[in-house]
Amino acid sequence: MSNSKNPATKAKRYTITAALPYTNGPVHIGHLAGVYVPADIYARYLRLTGNDVIYICGSDEHGVPITIKAKKEGISPQDVVDKYHAIIKKSFQDFGISFDNYSRTSAKIHHKTASEFFRKLYDEGKFIEETSEQLYDEEANQFLADRFVVGTCPKCGNEESYGDQCEKCGTSHNATDLINPKSAITGNVPTKKMTKHWYLPLEKYEKWLREWIVEGHKNDWKSNVLGQVKSWLDDGLKPRAVTRDLDWGIPVPVENAEGKVLYVWFDAPIGYISSTKEWAAREGKDWEPYWKDKDTKLIHFIGKDNIVFHCIIFPAMLKAEGTYILPENVPANEFLNLEGNKISTSKNWAVWLHEYLEDFPNKQDVLRYALTANAPETKDNDFTWKDFQARNNNELVAIFGNFINRVVVLSEKYYNGIVPEPNEFSDIDNETLEKMHKFPSIIGNSIDRYRFREASQELLNLARLGNKYLADEEPWKMIKVDEKRVKTVMYIALQIASALSVLSEPFLPFTSEKLKKILNIGQYQEIATTQKNASRNDDSSVTSSAVEMVWNDVEDKDELLPPNHQIGKGELLFAKIEDEEIQAQLNRLEATKLTNEAENKITEPQKETIEFDDFTKLDIRVGTIIEAIKVPKTKKLLQLKVDVGIDVRTIVSGIAESFNAEDIIGQKVTVLINLAPRNLKGIDSMGMILMTNTPDGKLAFIEPENDSVANGEQIS
């Protein structure tokens, strides 16, 4: 057996940060796939391998998106952040994201930490103070920072670029760089007005950043991160404003700075530090080694839109401050799309975490697995509900769950759930155990290199190993001819099941917990053994030796579950997801798409002007449908009998895709009765039913509001 250890033991401690989510909306699957699930896998893995780890996050509650949301909803920015902070924090907890601390940037400790950080750089002369012209909305009486202004990106030509960053090409810029800027508040073309701000001179750190990242990390940082950093450096860095003219945020802590706050991308990353301080105060620990000790590894998990802030601006801030360590790695992911389209908060094109947890109770691990197996690690990927269903049914249920179910059912059937004493191992037994012992290193090596998608598939390969072993050995047949051999087979199968209970924890924490309970491992041991004793009909008692397991035990220990160990009661780890459940999600997205199309629909322009005499030629009357049948061999046509007061006439109408014939008997309608007859599918149509469209694209009747209006009444 190999005695090699995973390289995760190299650092004395680890500080893991996950990008602070904006509290202008809930968390969606794009956030999870890009940041929080991979960071959680990494943190759980490091803990299981015996490392000193803190996993830090918190709500980002400042910045222009918050104030825009507040203006739209007619509430205060504090109301906005309180609402979404609660939703986000609970969603993370319910989903099993194992933060050691989840804070918020409105907390007093953060305001104090960010203010002190700024003040130190200010006192040491690290900023440039400059008065310059900035965009200003005269009607709103407000400077237009960041997302308060939109215009054409000077680099890629995107006409919807924000004032601080273009989301299409990723370029960061100042609001005054935009071409044809417009206020996002009023839509007005802004003027320019003089104002004073403080800037971090990034150009002074350009040479150092190139040496530290482009040269120093060219072999261990992801290519997408290195490429974006190099592009920024090649374009030449410029001074970056670290203050804004806003009334929401952390006040600039210097004299004569009234009405100014810290730029959100100055204060937000400091939130990692203040959250660590909050954790340390609660736990009675010293926070400084986690941020200032050279033996600590700092890892930032982010999406690709945050690369510039975490690889250029925040490191420059830390370098300027002088006492902090720098990130060891910034394994940024690309974007996750949804059913072929970019996820959009504003367009409600997303799968929201809190809604998923309601729609799929107790299926947190299914989403974790689907997002990890399809993670956008090197390129943008697409989430589809059909793939989600297939990952669950064909992999988690059919491979992982099937193996565990067979092992537990057979163990209960043959040995009353007691681990049997094995007999002599065959070559296939030894080979299978040897392969099992290698999986901690195989999976760990992938995690250490931030290849979480690869690691998740290696975990599934361990379950495949167990399934193949059982399929080849066929204990359900062997039991009839060689009971001694079956004991060995089931013993080995239970060792693989135990390995899965440990190695699955970073990826499938709820499943791992359930499996440990089934196998009567760790905290569940005493409970399960007591329950087993209580259920026995005789006076004998089942005993069970203490079984605790960590990651490296799977590699180092010859035996994970000892003979005579009593396992617990079996239960299914995963349940099949039916087509109806998936269709409900697709229907929700389709409704969202139709709503967006309706909101963005351009109203048809007015037709050419007609004379009053032209209008008076139209004879429009109220009628009632008294008969309706489908026109054979057509999709859209219904043949109607309509009472229009002066007669009952036949009208052929193309409304069959919106209405069933039997449902519209008795429907009041508006009819143009003096339209020239027209033959449709051999039927003479003697008029036209007037219709309009609903937001979801369906047809709707134009009918009188008052039911007492008689057939034949004219409309004028």
**Dist. CA 260–CA 231, nearest whole Å:** 31
Residues 192 and 312 in one domain: no
Q: Does residue 133 surpass a pLDDT of 60? A: yes
CA distance 100 to 121: 29
> How many whole angstroms separate alpha carbon 381 and alpha carbon 403?
30
Residues 206 and 221 in one domain: yes
Pairing of β 688-689 and β 381-383? unpaired
Residue 654 CA to residue 639 CA, distance in Å, equals 9
Between CA 335 and CA 333 the distance in angstroms is 7
**Among the listed residues 307, 343, 246, 278, the one whose alpha carbon sits nearest the alpha carbon of residue 58:** 278
Tokens of 44: 């759980």
CB 594 within 8 A of CB 695: yes
Rounded Cα–Cα distance for residues 55 and 237 (Å)? 31
> Does some domain include residue 573?
no
What pLDDT shows up at residue 605?
Answer: 81
Whether 587 maps to a domain, the answer reads no
Which two tokens mark 340?
């072929």
321-337 burial, b at 16+ Cβ within 10 Å, e below that, comes to eeebbebbbbbbbbbbb
Which stretches within 426-571 are classed as H helix? 427-448, 452-473, 475-478, 483-503, 509-519, 525-535, 553-556
Which are the contacts of 162, defined by CB distance < 8 A and separation ≥ 6? 146, 147, 149, 150
Q: What is the pLDDT of residue 36?
A: 98
pLDDT at 7 over 50: no
Do 257 and 287 reside in the same domain of the chain? no
Q: Which residue has the tokens 């057509």?
A: 634
Tokens describing residue 647: 């007669």
CA 91 – CA 352 distance, rounded (Å): 10
Residues 164 and 235 in one domain: yes
Residues 291 and 411 in one domain: no
Residues 139 and 240 in one domain: yes
> 672 is in which domain, residue-wise?
612-701
pLDDT at 606: 84
Asked, for residue 598, whether it belongs to a domain, the answer is no
The CATH number covering residue 505 comes to 1.10.730.10
Residue 39 inside a domain? The answer is yes
User: Which of 330, 355, 380 marks a domain boundary?
Assistant: 355
Name 676's bridge partners. Answer: none
**370 and 501 inside one domain:** yes
The tokens 């793939």 sit on which residue? 387
CA distance 178 to 480: 80
Please compute the mean of the pLDDT values over residues 272-287 and round it to a whole number.
Answer: 98
Taking residues 662-691, what's their average pLDDT? Answer: 94
Helix residue spans in 360-451 (DSSP H): 364-373, 385-390, 402-415, 427-448
Supply the pLDDT for residue 333.
Answer: 96
Query: Does residue 585 sit within a domain?
Result: no
State the total domains in the chain: 4
Give long-range contacts, CB 8 A cutoff, 24+ apart: 162-166.
Answer: 163/135, 164/265, 165/305
Secondary structure class of 104 (helix, strand, coil):
strand
What's the predicted TM-score (pTM) here?
0.83
Same domain, 233 and 279: no
Contact of 567 with 520, CB cutoff 8 Å: yes
Give the number of other Cβ atoms within 10 Å of residue 702's Cβ: 14
Q: Which of 309, 327, 355 is the last residue of a domain?
A: 355
pLDDT band at 104 (very low <50, low <70, confident <90, very high): very high
Same domain, 425 and 278: no
Query: What confidence score (pLDDT) does residue 145 get?
Result: 78
Count of all residues that appear for the chain in the document: 716
Specify the pairing of strand 296-301 against strand 327-329. parallel
CATH number, domain of 274, equals: 3.40.50.620
- Evaluate the CA torsion angle 610, 612, 617, 620 in order and state its sign: positive
Question: Is residue 599 predicted with pLDDT exceeding 80?
Answer: no
Read off the CATH number of the domain in which 660 is found: 2.40.50.140
Q: What are all long-range contacts of 615-620, with beta carbons under 8 Å and residues at least 24 apart? A: 617/674, 618/672, 618/674, 619/672, 619/673, 619/674, 619/714, 620/670, 620/671, 620/672, 620/673, 620/690, 620/714, 620/715, 620/716
pLDDT at 539: 38
Report whether pLDDT(535) > 80: no
Band (pLDDT 50/70/90 cuts) for residue 529 is very low
Residue 562 has pLDDT above 60, yes or no: yes
Q: 457 and 366 in one domain? A: yes
In a domain, 588, yes or no: no
Query: What amino acid occupies position 342?
Result: K
| CA pair distance 292, 62, nearest whole angstrom | 26
**Range in 178-182, 320-324, 538-542, 640-644 with the lowest mean pLDDT:** 538-542
Residue 335 CB contacts under 8 Å (≥ 6 apart), including other chains: 30, 34, 303, 304, 305, 342, 343, 376, 380
Q: What is the mean pLDDT of residues 480-485?
A: 96
Give the model confidence (pLDDT) of 36-89 as tens digits: 999 999 999 999 999 999 999 999 999 888 888 888 889 999 999 999 999 999
pLDDT value at residue 546: 58
Domain boundary residue among 521, 556, 591? Answer: 556
Tell me the per-residue pLDDT of 335-390, one tens digit each, with 9 for 90 and over. 999 999 999 887 889 999 999 999 999 999 999 999 999 999 999 999 999 999 99
| DSSP symbol at 72 | H
In a domain, 601, yes or no: no
Q: Does residue 522 share a domain with residue 397?
A: yes
Q: Secondary structure of 241-263 in the HEC alphabet?
A: ECEECCCCCCECCCCCCCCCEEC
CATH number for the domain spanning 176: value is 2.170.220.10
What is the reported pLDDT for 600? 64
Tokens of 384: 């589809």
> How many angstroms separate the most distant Cα atoms in the chain?
104
| Burial class of 424 by CB neighbour count within 10 A (0 to 12, 13 to 18, 19+) | exposed
Task: Give residue 541's pLDDT.
Answer: 41
Q: Is the dihedral of CA 406, 410, 416, 420 positive or negative?
A: negative
Q: Kindly report the number of other CB atoms within 10 A of residue 294's CB atom.
A: 9
Residue 684: pLDDT above 80? yes
Q: Are residues 349 and 362 both part of a single domain? A: no
Task: Let me know if residue 206 belongs to a domain.
Answer: yes
Q: What's the rounded mean pLDDT across residues 266-290?
A: 98
